[in-house]
Amino acid sequence: MRGTPRWSGEAAMRPFLDLPFDLRLIVYDLILADHQFVLQSKQPSNAHFRLLYTCRQVYYEAADTFRTYVSLRNEFQVERFHHYIFSSPETALSVRCADVANDGRIVETLRTGHAAPASQLYRILAKLTSLEKLRVFDVRRYHPFTMNVPQLRYHLDFEGAMYPTGIHNDGATLPHLTSYWLYLDPSTRVAPFDRLPSDRVRSLRLSGDCHLIPNASFPALRHLTIRSVTSNSFDRIRFNSVFAGSQLESFTHAQGHRLGFEIRNGHLESLLDGPGRCLRKLVLLGSSRLSTSVIASCLRSLPMLEYFALSLVTVNELREDFILALGPSLRTLKLQVTHAWYAVALFDEERIICNSLEERVLSSKSPLDTIYVSFHSYLMTEDGREERWKRIAHAQHLTLNIGPWEDNEET
């Protein structure tokens, strides 16, 4: 985000600049959206700004779009950006989406009792008055440095380090976020909405050692993702109580860690009994505690479901053929069946699932247009099943992908 542009490739950009202006604006939006994609919880950089310095025309066309997003990955970047918005306050007003690395530490002076965040991140967030979407990561490099002296002590306060109370905060009020996503390590303790208001949040992603506060309400929530949540408080969660006022359109769960929260039958039933009764997208990854009867019941109770992704880890049962419960509104199906390392593969039951897929999903009357499947290789080679499915999909103009897909599912 340098002050004076230095153009590097105006001639090379000429074919792109010959496109209609409206198309170029769409391209800028797509570039930014692609840049913001999070892969394996790795925080994006600010590399999207480099495009602004290739050509004067691109700078003036794309600057407003690109400056709606900023990523601060360490204290070095925090300090530089704070200096930049101090000299150019209008830049802070244009930021609507921010990715930040939160140190989470509060430094307290024992002699005076004064406490303040170790990082200067809170000063920047106070100036981002137009902020709508916030994604928070752990700090990987360049932690804030303070003198380690006997008069100082640290304590952790995840949201308090971003939005402290009781100290000068540049007169800012707390933002009413529409999107709040946490990409945290399993050991990072966090109490979402301990400081931030939750009433306007439409999209929420939870991770880490997460403890929801009891009085949080989510009347606007439409999209919920839970991945690598290691807090045992989620074992007792009732979705129809905690998210009572929500009307979810999508729900995603992935255990993500060996100590992560595992969704069970009671959890799924409480979801569908309350906020998830009108789901259009349901993603369940690494599920080993769900029975096939509950999965089938779930599918029957979701008449508007359009996207269903299930990665099922079998232990001792695969009794019910839940393929028969798929509804007519479904357009995308992703299914992966494996078995736990300590369990025996249920080939006979899995074969029934395969046969139902071929008869019901790959038929000419099926409403689906995208299918991802991954079964044991023994079953896919049996009687030429894999090659037969590919021929059927080609004839029916279906998008068919055979093989593991879970790692590429966006969570």
Distance CA 52, CA 7 (A): 8
**Res 18 pLDDT > 90:** no
Q: What is the pLDDT of residues 223-277, one digit of tens each?
A: 999 999 999 989 989 999 999 989 999 999 999 999 999 999 999 999 999 999 9
- The pLDDT, as a whole number, for residue 355 is 95
Q: What is the pLDDT of residues 64-93, one digit of tens each?
A: 999 999 999 998 999 999 998 888 888 899
Name the burial class of residue 191, with classes exposed (0-12), middle (13-18) and buried (19+) by CB atoms within 10 angstroms of its CB.
middle
Closest CA to 233 of 214, 216, 220, 258: 214
Stretch 384-398: mean pLDDT: 93
Name the burial class of residue 2, with classes exposed (0-12), middle (13-18) and buried (19+) by CB atoms within 10 angstroms of its CB.
exposed
Name the burial class of residue 396, with classes exposed (0-12), middle (13-18) and buried (19+) by CB atoms within 10 angstroms of its CB.
middle
Could you tell me the two tokens for 225?
Answer: 């993702």
Could you tell me the two tokens for 317?
Answer: 């049962």
User: How large a percentage of the chain has pLDDT more than 70?
Assistant: 93
312: β partners: 287, 337
Q: What is the mean pLDDT of the chain?
A: 90
Q: What is the pLDDT of residues 27-44, one digit of tens each?
A: 999 999 999 999 888 999
Q: Using 50, 70 and 90 to split pLDDT, how confident is the model at 142? A: low
- The pLDDT, as a whole number, for residue 149 is 62
DSSP 174: P
Q: Which of 313-317, 361-365, 396-400 has the lowest mean pLDDT?
A: 361-365
- The pLDDT, as a whole number, for residue 87 is 82
Q: What is the pLDDT of residues 151-167, one digit of tens each?
A: 778 888 999 999 997 55
Q: What is the pLDDT of residues 328-360, one digit of tens each?
A: 999 999 999 999 999 999 999 999 999 999 999
- The pLDDT, as a whole number, for residue 14 is 75
